[in-house]
Amino acid sequence: MSFKMEDDPELFNVAIKILDAFIADYKSEEHFRELEGPLISEQETEQFFNRYIEELGLQDFLTLKFTPHAVAQTSITHSGSSKKSKIIIQTPVDYTESRIWGTMHHEIGTHYLRRLNERKQVWFKNRTSYQMQDFLATEEGLACINQQLEHTLNGKYGRSTLRLKPYLFRQALYYWLCHMAKTRSFVEIFNALEKYISSPERRWKYVLRVKRGLTDTSQPGGFFKDQCYLKGAYTILRHRNIIDFKELYCGKIAVEDLVAISLEEKSVELVSPLNDLPSFMKDMDGYMAAIEEIAEVNLIPVLFD
């Protein structure tokens, strides 16, 4: 699948503001990672994931697999021949206690639960007939927002002595990288990235991510899918005062579809997710306060006052 670079000056400016604010507060990504605390063990990682899965009652649907051959730190694979989906965790593990909660909110509390609820909707396996929109930006944007919950005042670690702000730093950085890749070479991006990432090794990995797939990385161009993270988060946070976040859990639904359904511009009746909601939504007032905090830290105002 190819992804076209989108020229959106507004989003690029948002990315720059987030990056500059983050650097002003934490100096570098490496310093922020140090402040997150010590890494946990593989055994502790397994315990965290199993408790999270059990709390949601998903033991019959999810299983863990640790492997040094994983491309991503964490991912979920689905097999039509198996009842259970696999959570693939790269070893050696790279989680702190707060980071693992964010990962679980992202992968299980967002991606997996929305996939589970998608099966209950009338458009399941028939999205085109119901004119359902591309959900990728909403999907990834919501997951990235939820990943920051533990850095808010309502998160498990938000009231600790050390308060880390819920910046959408990596999402903004991905957008910045895509913007740079459109006109610059691997080396040019690598050098410019030093402003935000001091570690040469981590800079190399970031630039490799956006330049992957090119036969000649000295030429402009790149893999632009990573724009969707900031684009989706920004769209959701801009509409946060008119979105019913529980309805976003009705399936793989885009913000645009949710708005169209609420305005009765689309004749689709949503099946409520009922019990298939993440634990962090048990206290919706607390969740919405966290959403507001994430928006404010990332300088994202509401679209409609």
Q: Which residues are catalytic?
A: 107
Report CA 274 to chain centroid distance, whole Å. 23
Question: How many angstroms separate the CA atoms of 224 and 217, rounded?
Answer: 14
Sheet containing 62-67: give its strands across: 62-67, 85-90, 74-77
Angle at 242 between CA 237 and CA 245, to 5 degrees: 70
Region of 299 on the Ramachandran plot (φ > 0 left; ψ -120 to 50 alpha; else beta): left
Q: Phi first, then psi: give them for residue 122, nearest 5 degrees.
A: -65, -25
SS3 of 65, please?
Answer: strand
Distances from the Cα of 297 to the Cαs of 17, 151, 170, 300, in angstroms?
Answer: 11, 11, 14, 8
